[in-house]
Amino acid sequence: MISLAEAKDHILAQAKTFGTENISIEDALGRVLAQDIVADRDYPPFFRAAMDGYAFRFEDFDTKTTPFEVIKEIFAGENCTLELAKGQCFKIMTGAAVPTTATAIVRVEDSKTIANNRVELFSENIKYYQNISKKGEDALINDILIPQNSTIHQAQWATLAVVGCSQVEVYKLPKVAIISTGNEIKTVYQSVSEVQIRDSNSFTIRASLDKFKIKPTQICHVSDNEFELESSIKKCIDNDIILLSGGVSAGDADYVPAILHTLGVKKIFHKVAIKPGKPLWFGVSETNAIVFAFPGNPLSVQVACKIFLELFLHYCFEKKEKKPQKMTFSGTRIKTNSLDEFLPAKINQLGQIEILKFNGSGDISATLLADGIILHPISITQLASGDSVDFFLW
């Protein structure tokens, strides 16, 4: 049995990319960039009006509010080449290009229209380029706007459009197979007897994969039969990642470790000093498929997916470890074992973390009201209010 830190190190050591591909911007949300995104020109690409108002020559402004003559209205998207003479101004709209001779803008709210197409302007502490966004102040041509290995979220997606990236190079998604095991397990579409339960683990695993836009290529359930298990795993061996649940503990029907060995999958570790999820198995096949074999209890799978699988996938794509949040603990908890423990928890109204009551790793409702899980580390005997804890948001 190895420690939590050792397990993470072993898993991250196997992190890798799965190639790259060019995709349409339409399909890019949630994917990870395999290229830097650079500015295709200066941004703003012109001197831009930051608000509706009147544009004039800075040197013409007089605090005694000498009226200006409005010689033209300028709208966004319009290219005006007129030059201002002394005492003249433009009425200009937000986002419009500011002609070169205009060097300040007073907003509409600080103006008063008078007769003969003239306007009085009011402003205190006027300065050069007031209410004007200067060309290139946001970014210069060829500046890196979004670095490689960044996930394309809402802001990044919009930026791709701004710089004209209709096609973008991203990391390919891995081919993933999910295998649930157990004689007592039935699919959600099947009826169950008094001593059977429905498979929830494949849905937990799929939820973690979906955060990375990964859709499994194969999903199957196999009973605790050595021949059927070996046959099913063999059919999945050409995937990049194989995720199993159940059959990895110490029971007479826990065949998965032995079958993986028979199929040439190299064990990197089996059993981690954590609760729940202690029987976790991790290895690599002869075809370089990454294999996670999770314990079968629902909470164990939820913890293993959050702490290990998502850690691995995040590192594969973004080349860095995603750290938990540091939060303030509320309550008291005394450790009764020598394991790192993960516990369902919620964020209370004060923004602190409270542990939720649950009935062990088989409790199907253990995380229904949880915002995530906290770590009660092996090194700390007692948690008390005010302590800082690692919090993993679902």
What's the CA gap between 145 and 138, in Å, rounded?
A: 10
| CATH (one of 3.40.50.2000, 2.60.40.10, 3.40.980.10, 1.10.275.10) for 4-17+173-318 | 3.40.980.10
Give the burial string for 300-330 (b: 16+ CB within 10 Å, else e): bbbbbbbbbbbbbbbbbbbeeeeebeebebb
Handedness of CA 212, 215, 216, 217 (dihedral sign): negative
pLDDT on residue 64 = 66
Q: What percent of the chain has pLDDT over 90?
A: 87
Q: Is the pLDDT of residue 15 over 90?
A: yes
**CATH class of the domain whose range is 325-393:** mainly beta
Q: Helices marked H in the chain — which ranges?
A: 4-13, 154-162, 201-210, 226-236, 256-262, 298-304, 310-318
pLDDT at residue 79, as a whole number: 96
pLDDT at residue 186, rounded to an integer: 87
What mean pLDDT comes out for the span 25-39? 97
Taking the C-alpha atoms of residue 120 and residue 113, their distance in angstroms, rounded to an integer, is 6
- Give the C-alpha separation, 184 to 365, whole Å: 19
| Res 192: pLDDT | 87
Residue for token pair 């973008």 = 168
pLDDT in the model for residue 319? 87
Greater confidence (115 vs 376) lies with 376
pLDDT higher than threshold 70 for residue 204 = yes
Q: Which two tokens stand for residue 368?
A: 């229904």
Q: Average pLDDT over the chain, rounded to whole?
A: 95
pLDDT in tens, 367-382: 889 999 999 999 999 9
Tokens 């020109």 map to which residue?
41
Determine the residue type at 369: L
Does residue 116 have a pLDDT over 80?
A: yes
- Predicted local distance difference test score (pLDDT) of residue 282: 98
Check whether domain 20-43+138-171 has CATH 1.50.10.10, yes or no: no
The per-residue pLDDT for 63 is 67
- pLDDT tens-digit profile of 342-364? 999 999 999 999 999 988 887 87
Given the structure tokens 């790192």, which residue do they identify?
A: 340
AA letter at 95? G
Write out pLDDT tens, residues 43-97. Answer: 999 999 999 999 999 999 986 667 999 999 999 999 999 999 999 999 999 999 9
Q: Percent of the chain beyond pLDDT 70?
A: 99
Q: What is the dihedral of CA 154, 155, 157, 158, to 10 degrees?
A: 120
* Residue ranges covered by each domain of the chain: 4-17+173-318, 20-43+138-171, 48-133, 325-393
Quick one: pLDDT at residue 113? 92
**For 264-288, what is the mean pLDDT?**
97
Report the candidate in 304, 316, 314, 194 with the shortest Cα–Cα distance to residue 245: 304
- pLDDT of 144 reads 98
Mean predicted confidence (pLDDT) in 139-152: 97
pTM: 0.88
Query: In the chain, what is the greatest distance between 2 CA atoms, to the nearest angstrom?
Result: 97
pLDDT surpasses 90 at 134:
yes
pLDDT, tens digit, for every residue of 149-203? Answer: 999 999 999 999 999 999 999 999 999 999 999 888 888 898 889 998 889 999 9
User: Which CATH superfamily includes the segment(s) 48-133?
Assistant: Molybdopterin biosynthesis moea protein, domain 3. (2.170.190.11)
